[in-house]
């Protein structure tokens, strides 16, 4: 994984955590746990998907759908 890819992935994770804290009133730790335990995170770090190039709000829509489906531990 290149530095650019790692940077973009970390940036997306930071925004996702921020969105979760705002929208779901999660603590910082719970928001990180939600992201890291999601199927979305697995796809985000798989650089072959290119998901890390998408906007944070677009990626967040996938995470919200996963949460609504009850797929996150």
- pLDDT per residue as tens, the chain (73 positions): 899 999 999 999 999 999 999 999 999 999 999 999 999 999 999 999 999 999 999 999 999 999 999 866 5
Chain centroid, CA 69 distance in Å: 16
**Domain residues for 9?**
3-68
Q: How far apart are CA 18 and CA 60, in angstroms?
A: 10
Both tokens assigned to 13 = 């994770």
Q: Structurally, how many domains does the chain consist of?
A: 1
User: What is the chain's Cα-based Rg?
Assistant: 11
Residue 17 forms part of a structural domain:
yes
In a domain, 73, yes or no: no
Please state, in angstroms and rounded to a whole number, the distance separating the CA atoms of residues 70 and 34.
Answer: 11
């Amino acid at each position: 994984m290149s530095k650019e890819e790692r940077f973009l992935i970390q940036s997306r994770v930071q925004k996702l955590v921020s969105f979760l804290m705002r929208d779901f009133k999660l603590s910082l730790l719970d928001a990180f746990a939600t992201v890291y335990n999601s199927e979305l995170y697995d796809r985000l770090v798989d650089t072959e998907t290119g998901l890390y190039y998408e906007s944070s709000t677009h990626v967040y829509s996938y995470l919200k759908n996963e949460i609504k489906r009850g797929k996150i531990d």
